[in-house]
Structure 1
Amino acid sequence: METLSSIECFVRAAEAGSFAEAARRLGLTPAAVGKNVAKLESGLGVRLFLRSTRSLSLTEAGERFLAEVSGGLASIQGAVANLASSQGQPAGTLKVSMGMAFGRDYILPHLADFLARYPAIVPDWHFDNRPVDLIGQGFDAAIGGGFELPPGVIARQLGPGHRVLLAAKDYLARHPAIESPDDLARHDGILLRSPQTGRVRAWPLRTRDNQQASFELKMRMAMSDPEAACHAALQGLGVTLVSTVHALPHLQSGSLERVLPDWYVDTGGLSLYFSAQKLLPAKTRVFIDFIVERFRERTLAEKFNANSVPMRGSP
């Protein structure tokens, strides 16, 4: 197991380009990571890294070794995790990343049922609207949408990634009617900045029958969190564009109304991301199956579809 630990330190250091960052991801000290890598180099009789005070880079031999062992390391770790169970049940720490409001509203309510079914699993759930480096940061899974699929990661779609326009009833009553996408240019916008780039992205609108239109809102304010944008809209401050995941509770309660209900933005899908390794740890596999099962039981994919999302709540 010392050799396996040394190989893991080598792989994480190569991925991070730093002993310090590898140590942070592994929960070790930089000195321990360096010592394990040195032990591995000594046992192999070859130098794997070129070290300097400012950089860490792989030697030619290190690059070859990384290509040969990184996939095998994931398989071995998966096998070990599957054996390290309590009375044959999936066990271990389950590290998952998900959006704050999404996790609170759609995943956390099922935690008690999940733990009743799998009592030996210890959730380590991170609530953040930013995408994570699933493999590099040691996450077992992540839930989100609109992310590029990095190497070594696969996705299982949970539902559509649709966004809809929302505003408070009193805002709509005080401003000119919005009857087409062109009318939006005269309205105050509560715009969302990307947490990755800090930019406000211009999205094209579409309809069920594939009509498309560009649109523009006057920037009255910008937010980095969709829930904050919804709360600003609740105060009658303008029109916002958020995912149906965030819009649905407000539409069901009647606190916000859809603007141009025949139009929406398609950003891809809401997906569950996990490692592409062949031998997935049991704790990760049962979590994926559990979430997919709950989404199917609650017909959330249909509810998140902009073509079925209500215009407003019941009177």
Structure 2
Amino acid sequence: MQPLSHLESFVQSAEFGSFSAAARRMGLTPAAVSKNVARLEANLSVRLFQRSTRRLVLTEGGQRLLQQISTPLATLADAVEHAAEADRAPAGTLKVSMGQAFGRAYLVPLLGEFLQRYPAIQPDWRFENRQVDLIGEGFDAGIGGGLNLNPGMVARTLGTIHIVAVASRAQLQGRKAPRHPSDLAQWDGIARRSIQTGRIHVVTLRNKAGDAAAAELRPRIVFDDPEAMCQAALMGLGVALLPMPFAQPWLASGDLVRLLPGWWSDAGPTSLYYPDKKLLPARTRVFVDFIIEQFSQRGFAQRVRGD
């Protein structure tokens, strides 16, 4: 039987495409990982990688071996970790990906209570507005909207996000409030440019009666970040169509006023993502339970709806 260190070095190198990346993940040196793979190849009498200065490429034999051992090896690693954790408090590094503004507004405020409950866990949170490969990049969990649910992942919905029209009180002073989305064409707007397509996003608003209409503002400012749009709206620079997680605190304080009550756009769910494993590490399991509990207690799902 081949040593587990050799098999793990092979799997990690195959997943990351380099010995250096695998070494960082495993806490070894690139030379040690390369030596482990070379010994595995020698023991099996099979060449597993075509090596180049830029990237490792699996051979046919390497692809076959990876397909056969990656899942059983992950299951074995989970079982060993689970057994080791059975008699001690959840501990270790908790690597989580989340959106920048959303994470600051909704996750960081929960951190004190989480650390009080689980002092042996060290959060390693990445604030980034991009799609991440949770499994491939070694994350324990991710929080966000519009992420691809790849095989081997679970999604727990925290709330369905609605988009609403808002403006500052100064922006509304002396003007008749719009009554229909088409009326917004007469207002200066803070438009949003899609990071994915580069185009200005046109929002279609709906109401409970089933009516739908495009909310086409006169673009006065164009941003690609909803937090910046919210800040500009607070400054009275125009009407903004904002996701409720960004607008709701300011609507509650009265600094922003909602236009067109009863009209909204569905932006899809914000979810908590994590690997689909029978034996989740204790740090991930308690984090998932904590986030579901806290978001439920704070009424997040109700607060981010616009209907």
Common topology (TM > 0.5):
yes
- Structure 1 residues 26, 212: closer, same or farther in 2, change over 3 A? farther
Distance 1:43 1:58 in 2: 17
Equivalent residue number for residue 281 of structure 1? 281
Q: Residue deviations 1:15-36, cap 9 Å, x none?
A: 3333444445555554443333
- 1:128-147 mapped onto 2 (5 Å cutoff): 128-147=128-147
Task: Find out whether 1:167 has 2:158 as its counterpart.
Answer: no
Note the alpha carbon deviations across 1:99-146, whole angstroms, 9 max, x for none: 223222322222222222222211111222323221111110011112
The letter of the residue matching 1:160 is: T
Residues 272 and 177 (structure 1 numbering): CA distance in 2 closer, same or farther, change over 3 Å?
Answer: same
Structure 1 residues 82, 229: closer, same or farther in 2, change over 3 A?
same
The yes-or-no answer on 1:225 pairing with 2:225 is yes
Give 3-state SS (helix, strand or coil) of 1:101's partner.
helix
Which stretch of the first structure deviates more once superposed, 243-252 or 187-196?
187-196
Q: What do residues 239-264 of structure 1 show as CA deviations (whole Å, max 9, x unaligned)?
A: 21221111111111111111212111
- Write the distance in 1 (CA, Å) between the matches of 2:67 and 2:183: 55
In structure 2, the partner of 1:201 is: 201
Bigger shift: residues 48-57 or 146-155: 48-57
RMSD: 2.4
Shift in Å at residue 148 of structure 1? 2.1
Q: What is aligned with 2:256?
A: 256
Question: 3-state SS of the aligned residue for 1:262?
Answer: coil
| Corresponding residue number in structure 2 for 1:66 | 66
Aligned partner of 1:77 in structure 2 is 77
Q: Is the 8 A contact 2:114 2:290 kept in 1?
A: yes
CA deviation digits over 1:68-118, x for unaligned, max 9?
222223323322332343852221111111222322232222222222222
SS of the counterpart of 2:34? Answer: helix
Residue 270 of structure 1: aligned partner: 270
Aligned residue pairs: how many? 306
Structure 2 unmatched ranges of 5 or more? none
Gaps of 5+ in 1: 308-315
Normalization by structure 1: what TM-score? 0.87
Instruction: After superposing the two structures, state which structure 1 stretch, 273-282 or 46-55, moved more.
Output: 46-55
Tell me by how many angstroms 1:196 deviates.
4.7
User: Which shifted more, 79-88 or 109-118?
Assistant: 79-88
Q: Distance in 1 between matches of 2:73 and 2:119?
A: 27
Q: State whether residues 177 and 259 of structure 2, in contact with CA within 8 Å, keep that contact through their aligned partners in structure 1.
A: no
Contact 1:143 1:272 in 2 (8 A): yes
Matching residue of 2:43: 43
Code of the aligned partner of 2:10: F
Checking the alignment, whether the CA contact within 8 Å between 1:86 and 1:120 is kept in structure 2 is no
Shift of 1:176: 5.9
Aligned counterparts of 1:195 and 1:29: Cα–Cα separation in 2: 37
Supply the distance in 2 between the matched residues of 1:112 and 1:201 (Cα, whole angstroms). 37
Indicate if the aligned counterparts of 1:164 and 1:242 stay in contact, CA closer than 8 A.
yes
Q: Distance in 1 between matches of 2:109 and 2:45?
A: 53
3-state DSSP class of the match of 1:222? strand
- Please report the TM-score for the alignment, with normalisation by the length of structure 2: 0.89
- In the alignment, the residues of structure 2 paired with residue 304 and residue 39 of structure 1 have an alpha-carbon distance, to the nearest angstrom, of 55
Whether 1:179 and 2:141 are equivalent positions in the alignment is no
- Provide the residue aligned with 1:15 in structure 2: 15
Q: What is the Cα deviation at residue 5 of structure 1?
A: 3.7
Q: Deviations over 1:46-83 (max 9, x none)?
A: 11112233443211121122222222233233223323
Deviation at 1:231, TM superposition (A): 0.6
